[in-house]
Amino acid sequence: MKILRTAQEGLSSLAANPLRTFLMMAGTVVGIAALTVIMAIGKGTESQVMRRVENFGPRAMMLVAGGGRTIGPPDSTVTTLTLDDVRAIREEVPGLEIVTPQAWLSGAGLRYEAQQIKATLWGIEPEWHEAWNWHTADGDGISHEDVATMARVCVIGSSVKRDLFGGADPIGQTLYVNKVAVQVQGVLERRGVMGASGGDFDNRILVPITTAMRRVMNVDHIGGVRIITSDADRMPEQAEQITQLMRARHRITPPVEDDFRINSPLAIAEVVRGTSGTLTMLLAALAGLSLLVGGVVLMNIQLISVAERTAEIGLRRAVGATRNDIFTQFLTESLSVTLLGMILGSALGSGISVAIRQLTSMPIVISWEPLALSLGFALLIGTFFGVQPARRAARLHPVAALR
């Protein structure tokens, strides 16, 4: 194939001029490397978002006491969220499958015989198990009767079991939560360490919400409400209804700040994406600039090269190269340079991504998609910036070129 032979001439020319080839390639290498890193971070972030949303529950919302922050534990100084609010939501907001209150106390003191540890205390209703899809591995969960009778019972997480009871069976044993005696009636499934904070989800103790509020914490407000909607599509609308309801009940009119907030998968995704957003923007700017500048440099070097190699072009025309042959040769040079630059850039970018993963906690996922995108960019730049010099080379008149 003649086209392959003329393309081969372009490749030979690149190989014969390594410095020129390197200069033509540099911008593409940097640009593609940055692009690869962006994609690795982006993909890593998205997979973390997916994990967090999955974790949170795709149909779940949390109404949390205290405004301001988007995620994190509730503000325990805010006392305005009550069980009456929960009742109001159940009655007035349609389309909700579960609305279950929960009270929080972090760092509650737990004691069993001589063992003492700190864990998070959760006051819950039976629906909590369903709402968090978190059931007991052994024994029973919290029941309606437990809530109604303010029963002195508890369900413990696997870490509490390990730290307080060692290898022994905790079911039926009595432990003390802030000096209140409760009997262990169940052990939760193990969840492990999760989230950006790396908190131990299994270091917790569940008691009936009434027991928590009256016997342990002695409060009449709650920390939050776990809400599961029956239709994820209606979530924004329902969140708005709940917001209006709470504002009305708490007598809040903007611009007064809300004393509650509603977390949803959307809000969580926003937070996770936000952390890598700035870096991604910077890298995107770098990638775009490098590719653009690299392309312009490539075009300039090629134009100079065409001027320098006028005699060569004239000779090739004299021995029978057509305009198309010359065009093919010079376009091959540009395209090969960007393709090689893309390969080197992808390797460099992957290397940097791996290094970032080793050195920081940033989520990084290396995949094949950046390769496809980079290939597209390389072809685009090679063509866009290579056509003009190639056309100029092809248009040279042989007589003028040989002079």
Partner 1 sequence: MIELEGIEKTYTQGEVVTRVLQDISFAIQPGQYVAIMGASGTGKSTLMNILGCLDKPTAGHYRLEGTDVVDLDDEGLSHVRNQKIGFVFQQFHLLQRTTALKNALLPLIYADHYPEEAEELAEQALGMVGLSDRIDYRPNQLSGGQQQRVAIARALINNPAILLADEPTGNLDSRSGVEVMAIFQRLHREGRTIITVTHDRQIAEHAQRVIVLADGQIAEDQTIDRPRDAEAELVALVPNEENNG
d(CA 233, CA 239): 11
Q: Which one, 281 or 318, has the nearer CB to partner 1?
A: 318
Q: Which one, 276 or 328, has the nearer CB to partner 1?
A: 328
369: which 2 tokens?
């998609």
CB of 341 to partner 1, least distance (A): 22
CB of 26 to partner 1, least distance (A): 22
Q: Which one, 101 or 314, has the nearer CB to partner 1?
A: 314
Q: Which one, 147 or 301, has the nearer CB to partner 1?
A: 301
Asked if 85 touches partner 1 (CB under 8 A), the answer is: no
Q: Which of residues 312-341 bind partner 1 (CB under 8 A)?
A: 312, 314-325
CB of 5 to partner 1, least distance (A): 5
Burial class (CB in 10 A: 0-12, 13-18, 19+), 92: middle
DSSP H helical segments within 117-174, as ranges? Answer: 127-131, 144-148, 158-160
Question: Which of 9, 85, 163, 259 is in the footprint of partner 1 by CB under 8 A?
Answer: 9
Q: Which one, 2 or 190, has the nearer CB to partner 1?
A: 2
117: which 2 tokens?
């540890």
CB of 349 to partner 1, least distance (A): 32
Q: Which one, 5 or 190, has the nearer CB to partner 1?
A: 5
DSSP-assigned states of every residue in 306-339: HHHTHHHHHHHHHTT--HHHHHHHHHHHHHHHHH
368: which 2 tokens?
């094949």
CB of 378 to partner 1, least distance (A): 26
Asked if 17 touches partner 1 (CB under 8 A), the answer is: yes
DSSP three-state, residue 155 = strand
Q: Which one, 167 or 320, has the nearer CB to partner 1?
A: 320
CB of 353 to partner 1, least distance (A): 38
Asked if 402 touches partner 1 (CB under 8 A), the answer is: yes
Q: Which one, 226 or 316, has the nearer CB to partner 1?
A: 316
Are residues 59 and 234 in contact, defined by beta-carbon separation less than 8 angstroms? no
For β-strands 153-156 and 180-188, DSSP reports them as: parallel
d(CA 391, CA 212): 80
Q: Annotate each residue in 286-315 with x if it binds partner 1 (CB under 8 A) or - if it does not, as one string.
A: -------------------------xx-xx
Task: Return the percent helix, strand and coil in the chain, to nearest 5.
Answer: 55, 20, 25
Are residues 373 and 60 in contact, defined by beta-carbon separation less than 8 angstroms? no
- Residues in contact with partner 1, total (CB under 8 A)? 25
CB of 8 to partner 1, least distance (A): 8
Question: Which of 24, 32, 19 is CA-nearest to residue 300?
Answer: 24
Q: Which stretch binds partner 1 (CB under 8 A): 5-13, 73-81, 341-349, 370-378?
A: 5-13
Question: Which of 266, 228, 284, 263 is CA-nearest to residue 59?
Answer: 228
For β-strands 204-208 and 115-124, DSSP reports them as: parallel
Asked if 2 touches partner 1 (CB under 8 A), the answer is: yes
Beta-ladder partners of 263? 62
Q: Which one, 315 or 371, has the nearer CB to partner 1?
A: 315
Q: Which one, 319 or 359, has the nearer CB to partner 1?
A: 319
CB of 277 to partner 1, least distance (A): 49
Looking from the CA of 254 toward its CB, the CA atoms found within 13 Å total 2
Beta-ladder partners of 214? none
d(CA 32, CA 290): 8
Question: Which of 16, 19, 114, 359 is in the footprint of partner 1 by CB under 8 A?
Answer: 16
Are residues 21 and 14 in contact, defined by beta-carbon separation less than 8 angstroms? yes
Q: Would you tell me which residues interact with partner 1 (CB under 8 A)?
A: 2, 5-6, 9, 12, 16-17, 311-312, 314-325, 397-399, 402
